[in-house]
Chain A
Amino acid sequence: MTKTWVTPGGVHPPENKHQSVTMPIGHLPIPEKLLVQLSQHIGAPAKPCVTIGQMVLKGQKIAEAVGAVSVPMHAPTSGTINAIEDRPIAHSSGMSGPCIEITTDGKDLWIDHESLADYENASPKALLQIISEAGIAGMGGAGFPSAIKLNPGDRRPINTLIINATECEPYITADDSAIRERSAEIVEGIHILSRILGNPGKILIGIEDNKPEAIEALRPHVADTGISVVSFPTKYPSGGEKQLIYILTGQELPSATLPADAGMVCVNIGTTYAVKRAVVNGEPLISRVTTVTGDACGVNRNYETLIGTPVRHLLEHNEFNRDACSRLIMGGPMMGFSLSSADVPIVKTTNCILVPSYAEIPDDEPSQPCIRCGLCAEACPASLLPQQLFWYAQANDHDRLEAHNLFDCIECGACSYVCPSNIPLVQHYRHSKGDIVKARQEKVVSDHARSRFEFRKQRMELAEQEKEAKRIARREASEKAKASAGKKTAPLDASSGNAAPASSSAADIIAAAQARAVSKQVSPEQQQAKFERSIAGAEMRVQMAAEKVAEVDDSQTEEQKNTLNAALEGAKQKLGQAQTRLAEHLEQHKELNEEQVK
């Protein structure tokens, strides 16, 4: 028996897991249409690489990863691309997002795919490449691209691999049933992960003790492999990454650090199965186990569901009773979100579709004032102060919210669950988190605007200064011209004491102006080159004009001939002019040189 640690807080809501594990994992008929959402993971949405009307085969890549943090999408079955457009997607906002719709052909034809049974000898880099290409994103919660998580870099050696089989949220049994039926493949997936991470010393499978069948199913496969199955008392939320790490290792991760910083990687058990299928069978992630449960469905069961299956399809095949359903939830009752439409597709992170009756999850009761009972603080698994956070959230006091570590809240909902006043605490925190993130983004934008504004101001001042300088220069030049004109008409008496400073300052101005004029002048060599160039150009034009005159035949009118002749004459004149200019220049230059020599 491995030692486990006990996390603070936590709650024990009714588990309601038994309904959906009475039958093995089922398969549904292929729906007529599949809707593959392009953003099913954390990071940039994938970019479609198919066109409307194109035939695709099962497992064919239909959208490519964009940038480093992204995953590609694959066709879940064979069919035709019907549309690439915005549709309502699986998102808590209920908004639309880019999707690819496939009209299925029912043949379910696979594209050619290669298996790699010999993963023991494959390099970790090659394995990571396969995982990345297979479009695998964490299937437990947020959907972080697995290839990135499994590649923490050389600076952070991994000594512990934790497999998260906790599945602590009520109703959900997707992982439980997958372990019961596919434990051999899951353990194979763990071996692959272990190979990628450089065989970490400790491999732990964390599982709650309410899944004895799953634990028993795993045991024979992990014997003598160095993998230990660790079961611990059931409590919600034990499946949070930081919580599970504490339960299994006793190590608390500081705020804003990743498990990799502490030499650990935590992977959902559903992901290990996907990794095995990708590496050993060469199949990309195109389906997952999803629980369909709740009293509003006649049948509660787990299904191997194609990614992109509309929720409606799942409900229709499970004796869904619309009138009995209080709400349609994707995910579990604690952390899931309500869907506004049943046309939303199943995505890579959808572990459960919950359709509770009014008796199971009644409508929200109006919240009442906080009575300072402190139950929320006792329930908080992150040891925060939910009451204080609640006040500050109501007051929009971002500084104090951050000082009270709002961002360590895992939004598990335990505080809202225990609140006797029905205060939607976790909703307040989510809202405040969003507000703070938005304020931070706005701050970046406004800082940028400030720097641009200041740059513009500086630029305009500079332009103004330049203008002013030019104006002064012009004034000086005109004064100088006036002064020189004055000199000619009335020469200044150099001997007179009063005039001396004036004349010297005038002389200064003249000298400065001459210096400017000289600096503006091009050197004689450059001028000579310029004249030579113009001669060459003129010669060419003469030649061309002469050619044209020579080409003249009888078909052309007299007028045309005359113009051509005139053009030739003109060109000859220009050449002559250029030649004289060069000759003059050379003459001048010679004189200048002689003067200098003298």
Chain B
Amino acid sequence: MIETIAQQPMLAALIAMVGLGLLFGALLGYAAEKFKVQGDPIVEQIDALLPQTQCGQCGHPGCRPYAESIGKGGEINKCPPGGQATINAIASLLDVPAPELDAEHGEEADVKTVAYIREDECIGCTKCIQACPVDAILGAAKLMHTVIMSECTGCDLCVEPCPVDCIDMLPVEDGIKQWHWPAPEKVADLIATDRTTQEASL
């Protein structure tokens, strides 16, 4: 056997190459099964960038479904709570140009809000409890409901179903703990080539 192979180098090379091919093929096949990635990793990454308000303003029932739609090649400018910052972050993750926020889905809010139930007026219908995507409303049928402020994402979804309109979206005021130094005022660019205005390009 060995002699035959030694005498026929062509055959020897062929066997060696096919053998190696089979070996590595099997190895790769095994690795593909063993280290299979569950789910779509890019969706996880996009989901991590979204603000998780679960508001549905993008037209998807929550942030994760929106991330999945982006993963499938959907638009990335449908998230008003995240605003331009989120769009930019997703754009840089996917390495695509960052579009402006699609006004169709709403405008970027200036301040964070939380839902507030006027408890005297609440009739205990539990409709807002069912609407809340993060279980931030506490209450039971025919009993007063209230919003757990620290859990509320300010998604607005409880306002619509309330039959007595007793839910307000109140802005969260930044206390001294949330305060941080404001950005220094930006001064006009003094060097002509730095300017991007019409005047400079003339």
Interface residues of chain A, those whose CB is within 8 Å of chain B, are 39, 89, 91-93, 95-97, 366-369, 424, 427-428, 430-431, 433-435, 437-438, 442, 446-450, 452-457
Contact = CB atoms under 8 A, between A and B. Distances in A.
A452 B134 contact: yes
A549 B165 CA distance: 56
Interface in B36-93: 47, 50-54, 62-64
B52 A92 contact: no
A238 to B, nearest CB: 25
A434 B180 contact: yes
B51 A456 contact: no
A431 B181 contact: yes
Contacts of B151: 448-449, 452
Nearest to B194: A369
Given A446-B52, A452-B135, A457-B62, 13 more contacts: A91-B179, A427-B183, A428-B183, A430-B181, A431-B183, A433-B181, A447-B52, A448-B151, A449-B53, A449-B151, A453-B134, A454-B64, A456-B135
A344 to B, nearest CB: 13
A37 to B, nearest CB: 11
Contact of A450 (B52, B179, B187): B52
B179 A427 contact: no
Interface in B146-202: 151, 153, 175-176, 178-184, 187, 189-191, 194
Q: For chain B, what secondary structure do more than half of its interface residues adopt (helix, strand, loop), or is it mixed?
A: loop
Contacts of B50: 446
A456 B133 CA distance: 7
Contacts of A428: 183-184
A442 B184 CA distance: 23
Given A369-B189, A369-B191, A446-B51, A95 B133 contact: no
Nearest to B191: A369
Contacts of B191: 369
Interface string B123-156: 0000000000111100000000000000101000
30 contacts: A91-B176, A92-B181, A93-B179, A367-B184, A369-B189, A369-B190, A424-B184, A427-B181, A428-B184, A430-B180, A431-B180, A434-B179, A434-B180, A437-B180, A446-B52, A449-B151, A450-B52, A450-B64, A452-B134, A452-B136, A452-B151, A453-B52, A453-B54, A453-B63, A453-B64, A453-B134, A455-B135, A456-B134, A456-B135, A457-B62
Contacts of A434: 179-181
Contacts of A92: 181
Contacts of A430: 180-181
B182 A431 contact: yes
Nearest to B155: A449
Interface residues of B, number: 29
Contacts of B51: 442, 446
A97 B47 contact: no
Nearest to A448: B151
Nearest to A446: B52
Contacts of A368: 187, 190
A457 B135 CA distance: 10
Contact of B184 (A431, A456, A457): A431
Nearest to A93: B179
B134 A449 contact: yes
Nearest to A91: B176
A433 B184 CA distance: 13
Nearest to A459: B135
Nearest to B135: A456
A93 B178 CA distance: 10
Contacts of A367: 184, 187
Contact of A97 (B53, B63, B64, B176): B176
Contacts of A437: 180
B135 A438 contact: no
A454 B134 CA distance: 8
A92 B180 CA distance: 9
Given A455-B135, A456-B134, A450 B180 contact: no
Which of A93, A95, A446, A456 has the most chain B CB atoms inside 10 A of its CB?
Answer: A446
A431 B153 CA distance: 25
Contacts of B133: 453, 456
A513 B169 CA distance: 52
Contacts of B184: 367, 424, 427-428, 431
Contacts of B183: 427-428, 431
Given A95-B176, A366-B187, A456-B134, A450 B181 contact: no
B47 A450 contact: yes
Nearest to B47: A450
A224 B151 CA distance: 61
Given A97-B176, A367-B187, A450 B63 contact: yes
A367 B184 CA distance: 10
Contact of A433 (B176, B179, B180): B180
Contacts of B134: 449, 452-453, 456
A450 B52 CA distance: 6
B54 A449 contact: yes
Contacts of B52: 446-447, 449-450, 453
B114 to A, nearest CB: 12
Contact of B180 (A424, A435, A455): A435
B28 to A, nearest CB: 34
Contacts of B62: 453, 457
Contacts of A438: 178, 180
B179 A95 contact: yes
Contacts of B136: 452
B179 A449 contact: no
B56 to A, nearest CB: 11
Contacts of B179: 91, 93, 95, 434
A455 B134 CA distance: 8
Contacts of A454: 64
A89 B134 CA distance: 37
Contacts of A369: 189-191, 194
The 5 A-B residue pairs whose C-beta atoms are closest, nearest first, are A434-B180, A446-B52, A430-B181, A449-B52, A93-B179
B130 to A, nearest CB: 10
Given A424-B184, A431-B184, A456-B135, A93 B190 contact: no
A448 B150 CA distance: 10
Nearest to B112: A442
Nearest to A398: B89
A438 B50 CA distance: 16
Which of B52, B54, B135, B175 has the most chain A CB atoms inside 10 A of its CB?
Answer: B52
A437 B178 CA distance: 10
Contacts of B63: 450, 453
Contacts of A431: 180-184
Contacts of A97: 176
Contacts of A427: 181, 183-184
B187 to A, nearest CB: 5
A256 B50 CA distance: 29
Nearest to A371: B191
A411 to B, nearest CB: 10
Contacts of B176: 39, 89, 91, 93, 95-97
A456 B181 CA distance: 38
